[in-house]
Chains A and B, each alone.
Chain A
Amino acid sequence: MPSTDDEVPLVRLDEVQPGRRVKVVHLKGRGRLRRRLLAVGMVPGAIVEVLRMAPLDDPVEYRVKGTDYSIRRCDAHLVVVRFEED
């Protein structure tokens, strides 16, 4: 993990409120889900914008690399992110 931004706390993607932008730091978990997250562009360094929550608060819509995805909270929980200064 890079040490330069140590003062910015790390959070999980599912905890980020709609309207915020974050940068991916790390992916937890294993196997298929992780591979899927990688394929849509959730790679370390990628900027993710939290767009909106579904009517029942889950799943959440995220914008990654210009495309919007619906991702469940439990799956987004595997993505460790850091808040990005706008």
Chain B
Amino acid sequence: MPHEGGMHWHHRARRRERHHEEHRLRIALAGNPNVGKTSLFNALTGARQHVGNWPGVTVEKKIGIRRHRGHLLEFIDLPGTYSLTANSIDEIITRDYIIDEAPDVVIHVVDATNMDRNLYLTTQLMTTGARLVMALNMFDVSEARGDCIDLEKMEEFLEIPVVPTSASERTGMDRLLDEIVEEADREHHHHHMVGYGDELERKISVLVETLDQDPEISEKYPLRWMSVKLLEGDENVLERLSGSSVEDPVRALLTDADHEEIEVEMAERRYEVIDAILGQALVRCQLRVTPSDYVDRVLTHKWLGIPIFLAMMWGAFTLTFTVSIPFSAMIDAAFAHLSGWVSDNVATEWLASLLADGIISGVGFVLIFVPPIFVLFLLLAILEDTGYLARAAFNMDRIMANLGLHGKSFIPMLMGFGCNVPAILSTRSIEDRKDRFITILVNPFMSCGARLPVFVLLAGAFFGAAAGTAIFGIYILGILVAIITAKLLRSTLLKGEPAPFIMEMPRYHLPSTKLVLAHTWERTRMYIRKAGTVILLGAIIVWLMASLPWGVEYGSEDSVAGMIGKVLEPLVAPLGFDWRIVVALLFGFVAKELVAGTLGVLFGGGEGGGSLVKGLTDPSSGLNAASAAGLMAFTLLYTPCLATVGVIWKETGSIRWTAFSVVYSLVLAWLVAFLFYRAGLALGWG
């Protein structure tokens, strides 16, 4: 291992104001994506977490607290990155935090089953001069498959503490905490594992000397790291020199540097060092064909791959529907009962109406859909956790490419089936601005969980045995519209080539029950919490608007809701909708669940506790299979909910694109609903 002196490091040591009196330590977690970093963070901090955003960007910032041996440890979960270049927002956040905030210790989370690629980040973290502790995560998995990692050799070569951990089994946590506390107290000695060869090292030392002439720079930055980045042609780092007295001399030194060549040479040297270390410290099991390969021969098969993918999705939706029906029916019955009991036993008429017709009906109709949402999220979480979703992206990438998108856009689109808000947030891993905008703008067409209740309700009421197929069809419609919109944007407003797509294909593994359930529960809980807050409020407003002015028949045309609906009714009359649908869609803008909730109040609640399905299919509803199909399409496509519009605005930073999204989807929804309604009537669905 080459070791070179750390003569500039005393400057940096000054910045590390240690808080001995309160023993407070700031610990950052860094590592590649999908190495179990967040699981480890959870295992370390338990429930004591705070979730916020990184300043200026909407990337989630998680902070957690833990006490250990008289120290207060404050953990910060950094975004997952492969390297510390300025390639994406995630990488910039990670390296800015490590460089500018100088945490006391950085836990470098490494996937023990995938050391080569993970150690590449190690080489980069080391150059930053951070105090590192390596958590060799998934150590149990690597042992189980027959790898043998020599931990002592690893520590000897890397000169940092290496702790085997398993975040899923929660092993190794105490030792990791011990090492963190010890590393923070240890006399810091800088080391870097990679020497870049005589010629580059000469260039590096000239740069280091030059940079060192500006004390402001040398106090703030690790100079070797800075020099390496400058030689690699990192614009972001060069900008940090602006205004400094050394800016011009540094630029002069860089004029004849071939950044592209230097970058390759440095990467090559880093991997040479990694190979040398692993050659000594790791005995790999010699399995050239893994079980994953056998599975992939089927799941990514030339003829079977795509049909299997479609069949799985169709199966997931059908299963969702059939499994959840009895549970939904039970909840429905319970709320109908409760509503009836309240009507009979609360003497004050308006209060009885508020409780029975407003709150209980509204919230009840939302809770009915907890079972299907739970099942769908559960199935998606299983697919995600086994590693199948990456294969889905692999299978579908070619199609996405034709549409000017890539497989990376596929993951946010799949997440959109859960909720568009996190899905749109997840697009930040897409580096190219245009790719990202297109992915954001088409995301609302991926039908989120909140719209599912409306589909379940309408499909169940009007399509009988074909309900599962109808819902599947609606999801496909959303995908088609997303695809067409993407193509349209790519060829008009957001012209350009999509950025490269390189995606890791994780090995398949059995889903962990704990993780899958945690995932599913977290998403379901979000839905239920919404039912308790936004939906509750919405239900009360709907009830008020349906009851005011006092004395009118509940939800009748004379109520406020009815009047608004009546005014707008001509606009949707060609779609076969009446004013009640207008009201439901209007409230759906607040949260899409409210479409189902409002239909519940307007078609079900008003009829003295009668079943909603009966209310909907009753001739007085004015609905039939054709207009129900149109309404499903309209609900799918029309203006995204308030939260989604907000996040589109935030993520694009553009009021114009946000307005585009709102108007485009509204117009499109109307056109498609019209088409469906007319086609349905022509098919005799009326």
Contact = CB atoms under 8 A, between A and B. Distances in A.
Contact of A69 (B268, B395, B502): B502
B239 interface: no
A39 interface: yes
Contacts of A67: 114, 116-117, 504
Contacts of B120: 39, 41
A69 B504 CA distance: 4
B85 to A, nearest CB: 6
B175 interface: no
A56 interface: yes
Interface in B220-247: none
Contacts of B293: 51
Given A54-B397, A72-B501, A66 B87 contact: no
A69 B503 contact: yes
A55 B301 CA distance: 6
Nearest to B394: A70
Contact of B401 (A27, A45, A72): A72
Q: In the complex, which of the residues A27, A55, A70, A71 has the most CB atoms of chain B within 10 Å of its own CB atom? A: A55
A67 to B, nearest CB: 5
Given A71-B502, A72-B500, A66 B393 contact: no
B268 A44 contact: yes
B675 interface: no
A58 B399 CA distance: 9
Interface string B291-306: 0010011001111111
Nearest to A57: B398
Contact of B501 (A35, A51, A59): A59
B431 interface: yes
Contact of A52 (B284, B296, B507): B296
Contact of B268 (A43, A65, A71): A43
A67 B387 CA distance: 14
Nearest to B309: A55
Contacts of B397: 54, 58-59, 70, 72
Nearest to A58: B398
Contacts of B114: 66-67
A65 B270 CA distance: 13
Contacts of B303: 55
B305 to A, nearest CB: 4
B236 to A, nearest CB: 13
Contacts of A37: 502
Contacts of A71: 501-502
B60 interface: no
A72 B393 CA distance: 12
B521 to A, nearest CB: 31
Contacts of B501: 59, 70-72, 75
Interface in A29-48: 30, 32-41, 43-46
A32 B86 CA distance: 10
A58 B406 CA distance: 12
Contact of B267 (A43, A57, A70): A43
A33 to B, nearest CB: 4
Contacts of B502: 36-37, 40, 69-71, 75
Nearest to B507: A68
A39 B83 CA distance: 7
Interface in B533-566: none
A11 interface: no
A55 B264 contact: no
B509 to A, nearest CB: 14
A44 to B, nearest CB: 6
A45 B120 CA distance: 16
A69 to B, nearest CB: 6
A16 interface: no
B407 interface: yes
Contacts of A45: 268, 271-272
A56 B399 contact: yes
Nearest to B432: A32
17 contacts: A32-B87, A32-B431, A34-B260, A35-B83, A35-B263, A36-B87, A36-B500, A37-B502, A40-B117, A45-B271, A55-B303, A55-B306, A61-B296, A61-B505, A67-B117, A71-B501, A72-B406
Given A72-B397, A75-B501, 15 more contacts: A27-B264, A36-B82, A39-B267, A40-B82, A43-B264, A44-B268, A54-B305, A56-B306, A61-B296, A61-B300, A65-B271, A68-B505, A70-B397, A70-B407, A70-B502
Shortest beta-carbon contacts, A-B, top 3: A65-B116, A56-B398, A55-B305
Interface of B: 82-83, 85, 87, 114-117, 120, 260, 263-264, 267-268, 271-272, 284, 293, 296-297, 300-306, 390, 393-395, 397-399, 401, 406-407, 431, 499-505, 507
